[in-house]
Amino acid sequence: MNLLITGAWPDAKDHIPEIEAMGHPVAFLQQERDALPCDGAWVEGVVCNGLFLHHSMEQFPNLRFIQLTSAGYDRVDMDYVRSHDIEIHNAKGVYSIPMAEFAVAGVLQFYKQARFFYENQKARKWEKHRGLLELYGKTVTVVGCGSVGTECAKRFKAFGCHVIGVNRTVREDQAYDAMLPMEKMDETLLGTDILILAVALTSETRGIIDGKTFDNLRPGTVFVNVGRGALADQTALTAWLQSGGYAVLDVFEEEPLAECSPLWNMENVILTPHNGFAGDNNPKRLWDIIKEDLG
């Protein structure tokens, strides 16, 4: 199978010789927005992330295999994939562990007043803070119980939290104390201390967290988004934060986040540039998946 591999896979060049030894000729494209290094008709398979944001799928008439380096499918026209019977794989599980660790770390920064102690350290100021919170006993709601959500659930449960999953399909899973269908989300949030958003972005889930959702969150709730920015209504989120909510945000509806966004200056927001997926074990996990999917 003729493969077009892009720089969205950072370690691609280290593995191209092995892929070619498996019988797959390779053309390499560093930047997905750049011109193709080969004729589109030559390409039978791709390893990419946002390639089809810059090159229409119609450019690849013989395409039959797609390996994404991301967990989400939102950068691919899935209707086209299905109608043309194209085999598609994602990077399921590759980034779940670092993303779950990021979620826990973000909440703990609020609970343990990390900003307060950091500012006092810079000022060489010795001042105690008696208002530190424990994760133990808190109720955590995880919306989206796939790989990322489940890794989050495992870690919060290890801290002694009561973990509720909200998912499109309900199942028995030891990582959760209970799992409920999506239509139960709003009532579930009434008793939630920490809301983790890890559901995949689709036409059905876009804007799933809206003003009504934020109205259902009690004071002191921490909202964590490790899914996609468009899952939450940005205007409603900003208004809720301005009224005193807390948020750990790694993803945004438009990226990079505009310099004029009020989110930058909010002390009740931990803001990172879509970086929560990073982890030192990612390269091995990604290569293992790509190697298995290529057969």
pLDDT at 32: 98
Distance, CA of 223 to CA of 251 (rounded, Å):
12
Would you say residue 201 lies in a domain? yes
Whether 120 and 195 share a structural domain = yes
Whether 147 and 48 share a structural domain = no
pLDDT at 13: 97
Averaged over successive runs of 10 residues, the pLDDT of the chain (295 residues) comes to: 98 98 98 98 98 98 98 95 98 98 98 98 98 98 98 98 98 98 96 97 95 95 97 97 96 96 97 97 98 95
* Number of domains, the chain: 2
Whether 16 and 80 share a structural domain = yes
Tokens of 170: 């309900």
Would you say residue 276 lies in a domain? no
Model's pTM, two decimal places? 0.94
Which DSSP string do the residues of the chain spell out, in sequence order? --EEEETTSTTHHHHHHHHHHTT--EEEESSTTSPPSS-GGG-SEEEESSHHHHS-GGG-TT--EEEESSS--TTS-HHHHHHTT-EEE--TTTSHHHHHHHHHHHHHHHHTTHHHHHHHHHTT----------STT-EEEEE--SHHHHHHHHHHHHTT-EEEEEESS----TT-SEEEEGGGHHHHGGG-SEEEE-PPP-TTTTT-B-HHHHHTSPTT-EEEE-S-GGGB-HHHHHHHHHTT-EEEES--SSSSPPTT-GGGG-TTEEE-SS-TT--TTHHHHHHHHHHHHH-
Whether 236 and 127 share a structural domain = yes
Provide the pairing of β-strand 162-167 with 139-143: parallel
Whether 104 and 89 share a structural domain = no
pLDDT tens-digit series, residues 148-205: 999 999 999 999 999 999 999 999 999 999 999 999 999 999 999 999 999 999 999 9
Whether 185 and 290 share a structural domain = no
Whether 112 and 167 share a structural domain = yes
Would you say residue 194 lies in a domain? yes
pLDDT at 117: 98
Whether 72 and 106 share a structural domain = no
Structural domain harbouring 166? 96-271
Whether 142 and 246 share a structural domain = yes
- Rounded to the nearest integer, the mean pLDDT of the chain is 97
pLDDT at 280: 98
Which has the closest alpha carbon to 49: 21, 83, 80, 91?
91
CATH code at position 118: 3.40.50.720
pLDDT at 125: 98
Q: Give the residue carrying structure tokens 């990226």.
A: 255
pLDDT at 10: 96
AA identity, residue 199: V
pLDDT tens-digit series, residues 135-146: 999 999 999 999
Whether 204 and 260 share a structural domain = yes
pLDDT at 215: 94
